[in-house]
């Protein structure tokens, strides 16, 4: 149990380290493309934030638009477990981009949109074809199509760059992305596609939701699940294509997956996930546009993706419900509670061993009982005191249970012995097999379960080892405390 | 000629809730259902039983038009399935969805109303009220705002039942509604199914536990790739017929199915 926890924590640490390292290496290679130190960073930053430069405006608006559309559609991709499909689709569009460029030898956004969308759809159809006609499963088919289409695209792009004629500027930007290369026509197209995606998701939210969650049920309810699926794919292809120029083919799938994945960790509702994902995408887009603007020839895509990854890491660490840190804190507080309860139980055992004569338990007695050092026991005692379960006397050497401490000690011992009794009686487990189990169960038994156990075991007063089970009266009467609660607060109640 | 008969039948209000004729369904060319003929009378709680791989789930999926079939036809209240879907409710197997999906219990039950709401329109107050009532019927109202992964298996099964109830259909298909639920939940579900039946609804329930099948259902459909028997439980639940369903008597059929898969029919 403890090892398993340790193990998973270790894996998490490794994962985090890998993320940081990964971020580092990408940064290094990005720095090589254009050296930041040679340029006036402050001057560029001022230029960026004043928005005087139309190029800055186009880059920023375009990047934020693509963040929104990718974030929205990415959310559906993630909950439909189609992240790989997004990846394959984004690579498959490259040959279409090149052919769109070849159409009239300029970077005409519409021609490129048409070409890329067609290539994406052909890629998707190829995956389906491979799946249906061979024994290959979806992952292999996706990998195949992704790589082959991407290779084809690279060949075409290289060929275009070697052509003697025509305006070749910009085609190379489709690999790693350059937001600064966005023009007014590009941004207009991005705005149209993003508006279309927002409209489609708002209008057909119910349809997208039910087909994503339970396609068979949606079909019986009369919704054309297949049509909705293809509509989503088409929107996805559009989102990928408009993002290409700023993010680049290589990384565009990360803009689909990362903001949505971060949002998925933070909320349990689809509508909130869509909002969060769109906002994260927008923030990541703006971050990428800003950093790539700081130096000449800095690619935008990697910065955007790193921005999105930072959001994801924050969600991963600090998410209020599923976050690693919250889970760690929760686990630690549980471990501390168990520790407290075990110490109280030992105090009870010491008292029981001398027939509850005298209330005080010295640290030495407790240390012997727990087979621990005085220092350890002292620390536990002060922890108990700060929780109001014991009071310390004689310079902290003698422990007195408070009424609350006595109740909790009785409850834990009672839980332990009831459970042992239940296991030997009802589950026919040998008496020497039940202690270890009860050591764990005693801390988790809820009030209702204890009542059921009592009912089943009514009339039995000792555990399988012959020790008396503390009764309700014991809990009430204690060992002669002056102030006592009139009613038991219940067992296992926290 | 056949079309004429169809139109005559659909004009009759007494058309059976579910009528299947010569239905054959194959997965990857291997037939799993052969020549199914069935006419289910209204207001019956019908159990579909048979061994593993008998095609129980396939039958209800094909009946709802979720699977393509190789031959035969299905009619629901005398109409082709597509036109009658608004009268059909479906409770799939619990494992068929991802329970980590970011929706609340209420969201899922509301999906039961989607078919009535139709395209584009949003759920109304009335839809929410119905969904709440259905949640209350399965005793899950206090859980309405929980995310669905925070439920036990039995509770998840009840969420699906509540969604099916919210569909307010006349013909229900349920795929193992008792899978993975405790005894108390099972009897609660049974009484809900009885209640639906008493309102005149027809329920087709895939079930794999023979002893309880006898107790729960008015009629039984004994299935093993074909219909072994269909009729009132007391007539069908005989050692002879059960032996026919579960025993190894159908080996020839499955052998031929294997050959069809290997060689094809054309």
Q: Is any Cβ of chain A less than 8 angstroms from the Cβ of B92?
A: yes
Residue B173 has pLDDT above 70, yes or no: yes
pLDDT of the residue at A397: 82
Q: Which residue has the higher pLDDT, A67 or B28?
A: A67
How many structural domains does chain B have?
A: 1
Give the span between the Cα atoms of B158 and B135, in whole angstroms: 8
Give percent above pLDDT 90 in chain A.
36
Q: For residue range B17-76, what is the model confidence (pLDDT) as tens digits?
A: 999 999 999 987 788 999 999 999 999 999 999 988 889 999 999 999 999 989 999 999
Q: Which residue is associated with the tokens 């980590």?
A: B100
pLDDT bin (cut points 50, 70, 90) of residue B13 is low
pLDDT bin (cut points 50, 70, 90) of residue A481 is very low
Residues A42-58, buried b or exposed e (16+ Cβ, 10 A)? eebeebbeeeeeeebeb
pLDDT bin (cut points 50, 70, 90) of residue A374 is confident
Q: For residue range A159-176, what is the model confidence (pLDDT) as tens digits?
A: 888 877 655 666 778 888
pLDDT of the residue at B7: 44
Give the span between the Cα atoms of B142 and B139, in whole angstroms: 8
pLDDT of the residue at B6: 44
Q: Which residues of A touch B98 (CB under 8 A)?
A: 79, 81, 213
A219 min Cα distance to partner chain B (Å): 7
Q: For residue range B182-203, what is the model confidence (pLDDT) as tens digits?
A: 888 899 999 999 999 999 999 9
pTM: 0.80
Q: Which residues of A touch B108 (CB under 8 A)?
A: 213
Residue A295 has pLDDT above 90, yes or no: no
Structural domains of chain A ordered from first start: 42-319 (1.10.3470.10), 327-401 (1.10.10.10), 405-477 (1.10.60.10)
B127 min Cα distance to partner chain A (Å): 14
Rounded average pLDDT over A419-428: 82
Q: For residue range A202-257, what is the model confidence (pLDDT) as tens digits?
A: 999 999 999 999 999 999 999 999 999 999 999 999 999 899 888 988 899 999 99
pLDDT bin (cut points 50, 70, 90) of residue B123 is very high
Residue A450 has pLDDT above 60, yes or no: yes
Record: contact A221-B111, CB cut-off 8 A: yes
**Least confident interval from A11-20, A395-404, B97-106, B205-214:** A11-20
pLDDT bin (cut points 50, 70, 90) of residue A3 is very low
Upper half-sphere CA count for residue A212 (Cβ side, 13 Å): 25
Tokens of A132: 């249906």
Give percent above pLDDT 70 in chain B.
88
Residue A344 has pLDDT above 50, yes or no: yes
Q: Which residue has the higher pLDDT, A465 or A289?
A: A289
pLDDT of the residue at B253: 61
Residue A275 has pLDDT above 90, yes or no: yes
B145 min Cα distance to partner chain A (Å): 10
Instruction: Pick the closest to residue A297 from A162, A173, A429, A182 (CA basis).
Output: A173
Task: Select from A217, A272, A273 the Cβ nearest to the Cβ of B92.
Answer: A217
Going by C-beta distance under 8 Å and a sequence separation of 6 or more, which residues neighbour residue A385? A391, A392
Q: Which residues of B touch A213 (CB under 8 A)?
A: 97-98, 101, 103, 108, 111
**DSSP-assigned letters across all residues of A14-29:** HHHHHHHHHHHHHHHH
Spatial strand order in the sheet of B79-80? B30-40, B18-27, B71-76, B79-80
pLDDT of the residue at A267: 93
B166 min Cα distance to partner chain A (Å): 12
Residue A319 has pLDDT above 80, yes or no: yes
pLDDT bin (cut points 50, 70, 90) of residue B251 is low
Q: Is any Cβ of chain B less than 8 angstroms from the Cβ of A420?
A: no
Record: contact B101-A213, CB cut-off 8 A: yes
The enclosing H or E element of B64 equals none
Q: For residue range A181-191, what is the model confidence (pLDDT) as tens digits?
A: 888 989 999 99
pLDDT of the residue at A490: 40
Record: contact B102-A264, CB cut-off 8 A: yes
Instruction: Pick the closest to residue A460 from A452, A451, A468 (CA basis).
Output: A468
Q: Is any Cβ of chain A less than 8 angstroms from the Cβ of B122?
A: yes
Residue B261 has pLDDT above 80, yes or no: no
pLDDT of the residue at B141: 94
Rounded average pLDDT over A11-16: 49
Q: Is any Cβ of chain B less than 8 angstroms from the Cβ of A207?
A: yes
- Taking only residues 269 to 288 of chain A, the set having a beta carbon closer than 8 angstroms to any beta carbon of chain B reads 269-270, 272-273
**Least confident interval from A49-53, B19-23, B155-159, B174-178:** A49-53
pLDDT bin (cut points 50, 70, 90) of residue A478 is low
pLDDT of the residue at A205: 96
ipTM metric: 0.89
Instruction: Pick the closest to residue B42 from B170, B161, B194 (CA basis).
Output: B170
Give the span between the Cα atoms of A221 and B167, in whole angstroms: 8
Contact A97, A81 (CB under 8 A): no
Residue A30 has pLDDT above 70, yes or no: no
Give percent above pLDDT 70 in chain A.
86
Give percent above pLDDT 90 in chain B.
68
A213 min Cα distance to partner chain B (Å): 7
**Least confident interval from A2-11, A135-144, A422-431, B246-255:** A2-11
Report which listed range, A200-209, A362-371, A385-394, is most confident.
Answer: A200-209
Domain residue limits at B41? 2-263
Task: Select from A204, A217, A270 the Cβ nearest to the Cβ of B120.
Answer: A204
Task: Select from A207, A220, A267 the Cβ nearest to the Cβ of B119.
Answer: A207
Residue A474 has pLDDT above 80, yes or no: no
pLDDT of the residue at A51: 75
Record: contact A269-B103, CB cut-off 8 A: yes
Task: Select from A207, A216, A223 the Cβ nearest to the Cβ of B92.
Answer: A216
**Least confident interval from A109-118, A339-348, A467-476, B208-217:** A467-476
Q: Is any Cβ of chain B less than 8 angstroms from the Cβ of A213?
A: yes
- Taking only residues 353 to 412 of chain A, the set having a beta carbon closer than 8 angstroms to any beta carbon of chain B reads none
Instruction: Pick the closest to residue B80 from B27, B33, B21 (CA basis).
Output: B21
Alpha helices (H) in A221-296, listed in sequence order = 225-247, 252-266, 270-293
Rounded average pLDDT over B3-13: 45
Q: SS3 breakdown of chain B: % helix, strand, coil, rounded to 5?
A: 45, 25, 30
Contact A79, B102 (CB under 8 A): yes
Is residue B119 left, alpha or beta, with left meaning phi > 0 and alpha meaning psi from -120 to 50? beta
Q: Is any Cβ of chain A less than 8 angstroms from the Cβ of B35?
A: no
Mean pLDDT (chain A) is 83
Give the span between the Cα atoms of A198 and A239, in whole angstroms: 11
Residue A115 has pLDDT above 60, yes or no: yes
pLDDT bin (cut points 50, 70, 90) of residue A410 is confident
pLDDT of the residue at B264: 59
CATH number at residue B206: 3.40.50.300
pLDDT bin (cut points 50, 70, 90) of residue A494 is very low
Residue A487 has pLDDT above 50, yes or no: no
Q: Which residue has the higher pLDDT, B48 or A461?
A: B48
pLDDT of the residue at B263: 66
pLDDT bin (cut points 50, 70, 90) of residue A39 is low
């Amino acid at each position: 149990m403890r090892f398993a926890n340790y193990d998973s924590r270790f894996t998490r640490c490794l994962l985090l380290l890998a993320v940081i390292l990964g971020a580092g290496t990408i940064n290094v290679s990005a720095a090589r493309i254009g050296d930041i130190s040679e340029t006036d960073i402050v001057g560029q930053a001022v230029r960026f934030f004043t928005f005087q430069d139309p190029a800055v405006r186009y880059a920023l608006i375009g990047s934020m638009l693509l963040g929104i559309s990718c974030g929205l559609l990415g959310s559906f991709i993630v909950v439909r477990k189609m992240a790989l499909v997004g990846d394959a689709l984004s690579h498959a569009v490259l040959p279409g981009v090149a052919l769109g460029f070849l159409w009239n030898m300029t970077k005409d956004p519409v021609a490129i949109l048409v070409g890329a969308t067609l290539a994406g759809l052909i890629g998707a159809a190829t995956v389906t074809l491979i799946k249906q006609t061979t024994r290959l499963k979806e992952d292999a088919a996706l990998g195949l199509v992704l790589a082959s289409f991407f290779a084809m695209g690279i060949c075409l792009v290289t060929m275009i760059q070697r052509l003697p004629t025509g305006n070749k500027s910009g085609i190379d930007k489709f690999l790693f992305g350059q937001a600064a290369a966005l023009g007014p026509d590009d941004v207009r197209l991005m705005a149209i596609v993003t508006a279309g995606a927002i409209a489609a998701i708002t209008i057909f939210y119910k349809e997208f939701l039910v087909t994503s969650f339970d396609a068979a049920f949606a079909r019986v309810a009369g919704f054309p699940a297949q049509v909705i699926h293809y509509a989503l794919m088409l929107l996805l292809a559009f989102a990928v294509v408009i993002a290409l120029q700023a993010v680049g083919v290589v990384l565009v799938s990360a803009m689909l997956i990362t903001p949505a994945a971060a949002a998925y960790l933070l909320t349990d509702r689809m509508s909130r996930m869509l909002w969060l994902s769109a906002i994260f995408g927008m923030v990541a887009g703006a971050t990428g546009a800003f950093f790539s603007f700081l130096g000449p020839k800095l690619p935008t895509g990697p910065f955007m993706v790193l921005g999105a990854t930072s959001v994801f890491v924050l969600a991963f660490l600090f998410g209020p419900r599923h976050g690693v840190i919250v889970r760690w804190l929760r686990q630690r507080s549980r471990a501390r509670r168990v520790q407290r309860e075990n110490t109280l139980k030992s105090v009870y055992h010491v008292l029981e061993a001398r027939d509850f004569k005298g209330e005080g338990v010295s640290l030495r007695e407790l240390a012997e009982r727990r087979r621990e050092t005085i220092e350890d026991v002292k620390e536990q005692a002060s922890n108990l005191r700060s929780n109001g379960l014991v009071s310390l006397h004689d310079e902290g050497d003698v422990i007195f249970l408070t009424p609350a401490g006595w109740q909790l000690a009785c409850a834990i011992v009672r839980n332990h012995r009831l459970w042992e009794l239940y296991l030997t009686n009802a589950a026919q487990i040998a008496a020497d097999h039940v202690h270890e189990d009860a050591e764990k169960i005693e801390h988790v038994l809820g009030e209702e379960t204890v009542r059921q156990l009592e009912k089943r075991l009514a009339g039995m007063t000792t555990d399988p080892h012959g020790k008396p089970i503390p009764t309700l009266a014991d809990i009430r009467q204690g060992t002669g405390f002056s102030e006592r609660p009139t009613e038991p607060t219940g067992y296992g109640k926290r | 000629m056949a079309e004429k008969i169809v139109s005559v039948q659909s004009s009759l209000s007494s058309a059976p809730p579910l009528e299947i004729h010569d239905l054959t369904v194959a997965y990857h060319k291997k037939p799993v259902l052969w020549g199914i003929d069935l006419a289910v009378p209204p207001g019956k709680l019908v159990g579909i039983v048979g061994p593993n791989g008998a095609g129980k789930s396939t039958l209800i999926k094909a009946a709802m038009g979720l699977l393509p079939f190789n031959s035969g036809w299905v009619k629901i209240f005398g109409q082709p399935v597509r036109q009658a879907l608004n009268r059909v409710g479906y409770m799939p197997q619990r494992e068929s969805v991802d329970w980590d999906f970011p929706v609340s219990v209420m969201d899922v039950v509301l999906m039961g109303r989607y078919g009535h709401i139709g395209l584009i329109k949003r759920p109304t107050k009335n839809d929410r009220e119905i969904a709440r009532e259905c949640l209350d019927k399965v005793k899950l109202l206090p859980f309405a705002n929980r995310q669905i992964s925070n439920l036990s298996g039995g509770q998840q099964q009840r969420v699906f039942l509540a969604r099916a109830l919210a569909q307010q259909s006349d013909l229900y298909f349920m795929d193992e509604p008792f899978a993975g639920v405790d005894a108390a939940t099972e009897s609660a579900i049974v009484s809900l199914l009885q209640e639906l039946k008493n309102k005149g609804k027809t329920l087709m329930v895939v079930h794999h536990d023979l002893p309880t099948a006898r107790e729960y259902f008015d009629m039984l459909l004994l299935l093993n790739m074909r219909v072994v028997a269909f009729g009132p439980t007391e007539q069908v639940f005989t050692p002879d017929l059960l032996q026919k369903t579960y025993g190894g008597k159908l080996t020839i059929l499955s052998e031929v199915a294997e050959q069809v898969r290997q060689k094809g029919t054309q």
